[in-house]
Chain A
């Protein structure tokens, strides 16, 4: 690829990122072994800045350097205008973060099949009627990045993913619950994974009535991700630069409950979403996005940082800024105590469609695909045909009852970014709609 930079027209800046991913995995479906897969992919992504405009071209075609360069140069005629003086980062020290497990690298299909068989048989031992799906997969990832300003860096990581889910169909009643986890090494707590799936499944076996109204509701960590989406969208530097974020004039103001502290951190060791530098060669770091209810920091890449005259935050993703690993600071309430403290309410483990809608308005609503009635401090069966609605801006300002001490890591597979660690969150006044 050295020739690619040598053939650049005069005055053109360029950045080349090459990622290689070697994946092997096994899958169990319908309670039986379904098959295996092996994939070997390499992607070259080239960004150029020509005459003050930046463009992106990517290719998986081997030996297509010239084609890649021509495509990027043509697109640059209409590319994103960059602020005057924009430059890719120069040579820099690259922090060392532990992201590789030799055990993951060495794991073969036999080990993954054993994991899948163990998860599947544990679920079937609990209830033979369940249709079980399970998967285990390992990724070996290599990323290299260099640019015409002199930056050159690379890193490797391994990702071990596993998960199990169960479906029970009884007439027109469908019940599904599953959990998946990612790690750098293969030392997953499979017993804990099995216990959690079985526990939630057992809680959900019986259905319970639920009337429309406004209730205290516990959102499981997977659901908290939908509640955090409006904040992450509004604190994205691109939303600021393009004038669509309603937080633009409200940074530094007390907008949320003081218990809300939201951090993005791409530097955590042995966490798959971490990386020593972002998509653009900027070192990742710990960014306090919201501190005790006060929005402080934006997610910024080189482009948006330059437009807003701020420092990049290590959140470059190639098509705008994005989070690396978001952490909502946990509270000090045990989940069990949260449940015990509710006279009548819900805990939501699964929803559908909560990702849809306009994040800048703060409204989040979804169909509750797995919600459990809480009555007098105890789980009292699964509710059906219900939707929830909150306004994240309002509920996280006035309606936070508790954050759990327990947290769960979500996502983090693949080449990088997009992971989160959230606690359970108890909000009051959550609107629940139903036809009951």
Chain B
């Protein structure tokens, strides 16, 4: 493959050219209702060529390797056509030329586990769900895995082969009473092996009980509350509320946004440190090289409340005069890489959960992430459920909790950070640029935020 890619690149007529070639084996197993619903296997096989000429990009993707040379020509022709119109300069941050073949130290490669064994394990979890209560009328289990061999070569001489694994799953009970349905579950996943799926029994049984209790819980009352986020919600918060704004492709050609996001600006209190990294092998955002062949490195984004960095591709790094971070990622060969997060984390603080709750007269403890979205300075996310805090004590359960806020004021309003971090590895992932779900993760402690807008009943 290495020689094939290098031969094809030899004819590239552009300032820069790169080829990715991928063979991925996704597997999905779904349970709905009372049992196994669908098993689906895929083979994703194909390549992508990206070329730059005078500051503009051409991109071509294909399935058939026989098309490789034609697609190099297509991408370069497109880039020349676009570049001659744009009339700019091709600027990419310099990075070392690399020749590497790498695979993480897998604990239990999912392709080495027979499908039968995976089904047996999920059947076991399904039995726990369905036996938990008469009010639990159905299960909703989703297991997805993807094993990938990815080749990368560029016109600068880099060649990298990476073996990757991504696993994400959710195991949930659906409780129903009349028109009311509630779903609660647990999540499992990682980048290292299938063993992340074992040992969910106790947590799952607790989630089933919670689903039944939430049936009779009221919808949260809309309002503005101090909110204590568990590590899963804190992780979602840091991804949606701040992470996307730190992706440099938003700002690199936008002077007004560059000014707003100027490095050195204070965004939070001294206790707040946020970073993004591809190093944590236990988590779904693990990445050794990005999709531009750049070795990933930890990027400190906020340190002690001050904005100190952002996530970059080679192009955004060059145009902003900052260092590349290895953050250019593509969901697969059908898309060009864009600037994305990997594992985005909040550094641990010193507070206990009791300290966070104490002193709140009326507030909310929110547990479990249910997805989120950001648009500029605004963010929103759904949480699994809430527990009201009254006079410094945990009180009744509430459901249908959705939080929103302004990034800038919310970061300032983080006033306590917990000492114990937890990872997040659920199914799904980031959907930026219609390239989802891209595996991302992170490590976060619980955090307390003042003045959060909560949507719900009147």
Contacts of A40 in B (CB 8 A): 60-63, 67, 71
Q: Across the interface, do A42 and B63 meet the contact criterion of CB distance under 8 Å?
A: yes
Contacts of B46 in A (CB 8 A): 41, 60
Q: Across the interface, do B453 and A241 meet the contact criterion of CB distance under 8 Å?
A: no
B132 within 8 A of A: no
Q: How would residues 57 to 76 of chain B score, 1 for a CB under 8 Å from any chain A CB and 0 otherwise? A: 11111111111000100110
Total number of residue pairs linking A and B with CB closer than 8 Å = 276
Given contacts A30-B254, A356-B381, A357-B382, 18 further A-B contacts (CB under 8 A): A32-B86, A35-B57, A37-B61, A60-B43, A61-B23, A61-B63, A74-B41, A80-B38, A167-B254, A212-B223, A352-B373, A352-B379, A357-B370, A367-B379, A367-B380, A387-B404, A433-B404, A435-B224
Q: How many residues of chain A have a CB within 8 Å of chain B?
A: 83
Q: Across the interface, do B455 and A172 meet the contact criterion of CB distance under 8 Å?
A: no
Contacts of A435 in B (CB 8 A): 224, 451, 453
State A393–B181 Cα separation when bound (angstroms): 13
State A208–B64 Cα separation when bound (angstroms): 55
What are 13 A-B interface contacts by the 8 Å CB criterion? A33-B86, A35-B57, A39-B61, A55-B38, A58-B40, A109-B78, A167-B254, A174-B376, A214-B458, A356-B381, A385-B405, A387-B222, A431-B456
B contact residues vs A (CB 8 Å cutoff)? 23, 29, 32-34, 36-46, 56-67, 71, 74-75, 78-79, 81-82, 85-86, 115-116, 119, 137-138, 140, 174, 176, 178-183, 219, 222-224, 253-254, 256-257, 260, 334, 336, 370-382, 400, 402, 404-406, 408, 451, 453-458
Q: Across the interface, do B256 and A169 meet the contact criterion of CB distance under 8 Å?
A: yes
Q: Across the interface, do B260 and A172 meet the contact criterion of CB distance under 8 Å?
A: yes
Option from A60, A385, A387 in Cβ contact (under 8 Å) with B45: A60
Contacts of A238 in B (CB 8 A): 32
Most chain A CB inside 10 Å of its own CB: which residue of B33, B56, B58, B182:
B33
Contacts of B119 in A (CB 8 A): 78
Asked whether A41 and B62 contact (CB < 8 A) given A61-B45, A75-B41, A387-B222, the answer is: yes
State A356–B457 Cα separation when bound (angstroms): 16
**What residue of chain B has the Cβ atom nearest to residue A394's Cβ?**
B179
A361 within 8 A of B: yes
Contacts of B219 in A (CB 8 A): 363
Contacts of B181 in A (CB 8 A): 244, 246, 358, 360-361
A343 within 8 A of B: no
Contacts of B137 in A (CB 8 A): 243-244
B99 to chain A, nearest CB (A): 26
Most chain B CB inside 10 Å of its own CB: which residue of A56, A59, A60, A78:
A60
Contacts of A358 in B (CB 8 A): 181-183, 400
Q: Across the interface, do A433 and B456 meet the contact criterion of CB distance under 8 Å?
A: yes
Contacts of A173 in B (CB 8 A): 377
State A244–B86 Cα separation when bound (angstroms): 54
Q: Across the interface, do B254 and A169 meet the contact criterion of CB distance under 8 Å?
A: yes
**What residue of chain B has the Cβ atom nearest to residue A67's Cβ?**
B43
State A170–B85 Cα separation when bound (angstroms): 30
State A76–B56 Cα separation when bound (angstroms): 47
**What residue of chain A has the Cβ atom nearest to residue B88's Cβ?**
A32
Interface of B is mostly: strand
B454 to chain A, nearest CB (A): 7
**What residue of chain A has the Cβ atom nearest to residue B458's Cβ?**
A431
Q: Across the interface, do B45 and A64 meet the contact criterion of CB distance under 8 Å?
A: yes
A contact residues vs B (CB 8 Å cutoff)? 29-30, 32-42, 55-62, 64, 67-68, 71-72, 74-75, 77-80, 109, 113, 129, 131, 167-176, 212-214, 238, 241-244, 246, 319-320, 350, 352-353, 355-358, 360-363, 365-367, 369, 384-389, 393, 431, 433-435
Contacts of B256 in A (CB 8 A): 129, 131, 168-170
State A393–B178 Cα separation when bound (angstroms): 13
Contacts of B115 in A (CB 8 A): 74-75, 77-78
Asked whether A174 and B377 contact (CB < 8 A) given A30-B254, A358-B181, A387-B404, the answer is: yes
Q: Across the interface, do B222 and A352 meet the contact criterion of CB distance under 8 Å?
A: no
**What residue of chain A has the Cβ atom nearest to residue B219's Cβ?**
A363
State A67–B44 Cα separation when bound (angstroms): 12
Contacts of B29 in A (CB 8 A): 78
Q: Across the interface, do B402 and A387 meet the contact criterion of CB distance under 8 Å?
A: yes
State A72–B41 Cα separation when bound (angstroms): 7
Q: Across the interface, do A62 and B64 meet the contact criterion of CB distance under 8 Å?
A: yes
Contacts of B257 in A (CB 8 A): 169
B418 to chain A, nearest CB (A): 24
Option from A35, A79, A357 in Cβ contact (under 8 Å) with B56: A35
State A79–B253 Cα separation when bound (angstroms): 50
B221 to chain A, nearest CB (A): 9
Option from B43, B56, B59, B373 in Cβ contact (under 8 Å) with A38: B59
B453 to chain A, nearest CB (A): 5
Q: Across the interface, do B373 and A353 meet the contact criterion of CB distance under 8 Å?
A: yes
Contacts of B223 in A (CB 8 A): 212, 433
Q: Across the interface, do A33 and B56 meet the contact criterion of CB distance under 8 Å?
A: yes
Q: Across the interface, do A60 and B174 meet the contact criterion of CB distance under 8 Å?
A: no
**What residue of chain B has the Cβ atom nearest to residue A389's Cβ?**
B455
Asked whether A242 and B38 contact (CB < 8 A) given A39-B61, A214-B458, the answer is: no
Contacts of B41 in A (CB 8 A): 55-58, 71-72, 74-75
Contacts of B63 in A (CB 8 A): 40-42, 60-62
State A431–B380 Cα separation when bound (angstroms): 16
Q: Across the interface, do B58 and A35 meet the contact criterion of CB distance under 8 Å?
A: yes
Option from B36, B37, B60, B253 in Cβ contact (under 8 Å) with A37: B60
Q: Across the interface, do A38 and B138 meet the contact criterion of CB distance under 8 Å?
A: no
Q: Across the interface, do A361 and B43 meet the contact criterion of CB distance under 8 Å?
A: no
**What residue of chain B has the Cβ atom nearest to residue A170's Cβ?**
B256
A254 to chain B, nearest CB (A): 15
Contacts of A42 in B (CB 8 A): 63-64
**What residue of chain A has the Cβ atom nearest to residue B64's Cβ?**
A62
Option from B56, B60, B65, B375 in Cβ contact (under 8 Å) with A369: B375
